[in-house]
Amino acid sequence: MKHTDEQQKAMDASIGSVQRIALRIVSLPASGRNEQFAVVRRHFAEGIEKFGMKGETAEKWLNLQMEGLRALVKEIEAGGGAAGGTA
């Protein structure tokens, strides 16, 4: 699927934002991460509600975003954490 320049910029900004959130979470002690994931989910939920997304569609979107964020945090950790790999 080909995206317009505007769509591509929006997607890049969204991906960059999630990456920055993941790096911030990785920098926290493991014991505080679940609380931060809950904060992020709440902020995501507030944001999509402003755009009128509700119900099952909103819940699916939130679940996918949070699954992706958790996977990215694990990937960053596996690569050596927020400071980078050890290669």
Residue-wise pLDDT for 19-32, tens only, equals 999 999 999 999 99
3 state DSSP class of 10: helix
In the chain, what percentage of residues exceed pLDDT 70?
Answer: 92
Average pLDDT over residues 9-14: 85
CA–CA separation, 11 and 5 (whole Å) = 10
Length of the chain: 87
In this predicted structure, the answer to whether residue 48 has a pLDDT above a threshold of 50 is yes
Domain ranges, ordered by start, for the chain: 5-78
36 burial (CB, 10 Å; 0-12 / 13-18 / 19+) is middle
CA 76 to chain centre: 13
Label residue 13 by pLDDT band (50, 70, 90): confident
- pLDDT tens for each residue of 49-83: 998 999 999 999 999 999 999 999 999 999 986 55
